[in-house]
Amino acid sequence: MDKILAILIISFLGPMLGSFFGIFKSYSEKQIRYLLLFAAGVMTAVSVFQLLPQSLKLQNSRIAIMGLVAGGFLMYLFNILLPHYHHLKASGLPEVGDLKRMATFLFIGISLHNLPEGFAIGVGAMSNLSFSLLIALAISLHDIPEAICIAAPYYYNTKNRFKAFFLTLLTFIPTMAGFLISYSIMKNISDFWLALFISFTAGIMLYISMFEIIPRSATNKNMEKKKMFLSLTMGITFVLLLQQLITLLGIYK
């Protein structure tokens, strides 16, 4: 139970910090994109160095590929059907009426996107792996700039810090729901399904990194390539260092 509580707290910190920063500080589009690139580095490292090797250890590469493709395809469908953070610029805010509408749609889109992300966290916890906390941390870091993108324009429109903070914080509910559903349903599954769901989680996280965050940042003319690479590399390095710390301390093996 302590492990579950720790994962939920880490998952909650992302939207909470993003909500807080969104109502008390102004951010440029570049700053938010650099934050997202750091989160992309974290998710890429967790997927490549942790999730996929564990899936291959449990089953063969065919199962890992199936899960990887399925996870990526799910996020592809979500991006077609739902609005997401890239539909809103962090700078150059539109007129107040348009801003409120955009913030509302952004809230709906991110909330629904958080459901499979919560599922990914649940898979990590259910598998009883030493890196289950890393998955929660990766998703949480990704949620910080997303929450800023909701809270900042909503506060700009309403001038009500509490309302903007509370509304943005509600995006955590689908994450929690996805986590609890996946964790409770898959406690006693076979190695086959465990390997499939672990690689499925990797597919979700790699899609967010490779097909959303990195390409959209690279096409922005204001982004500096060296700083983009540094932000991404820092995210990857962060995971590797944190993994070593978890191993040394023997946390949740």
Residue 245, both tokens: 């710390």
pLDDT of residue 90: 44
Residue 2 phi, psi dihedral angles, 5° rounding? -65, -40
The predicted structure's pLDDT at residue 127: 63
- Residue indicated by tokens 């990704």: 142
Provide the greatest CA pair distance for the chain: 55
CA atoms within 13 A on the CB side of 12: 10
Low pLDDT (below 70) residues in the chain: 1, 26-29, 82-113, 124-132, 153, 187, 220, 246-247, 249-253
Question: Given this model, what pLDDT does residue 92 score?
Answer: 43
Q: How far apart are CA 232 and CA 191, in angstroms?
A: 33
pLDDT digits over 14-44, tens only? 889 888 888 887 666 677 778 778 878 888 8
SS3 string of 179-237? Answer: HHHHHHHCCCCCHHHHHHHHHHHHHHHHHHHHHHHHHHHHCCCCCCHHHHHHHHHHHHH
| 59 in Cβ contact with 195 (< 8 Å) | yes
Cα of 113 vs its chain's centroid, Å? 9
Query: Strand, helix or coil at 1?
Result: coil
CA 170, 43, 252: angle at the middle one, nearest 5?
A: 85
Q: For 76-117, how does the pLDDT look when each residue is reduced to its tens digit (9 = 90+)? A: 887 777 655 444 444 344 444 445 555 565 566 666 667 777
Q: What is the pTM of this model?
A: 0.69
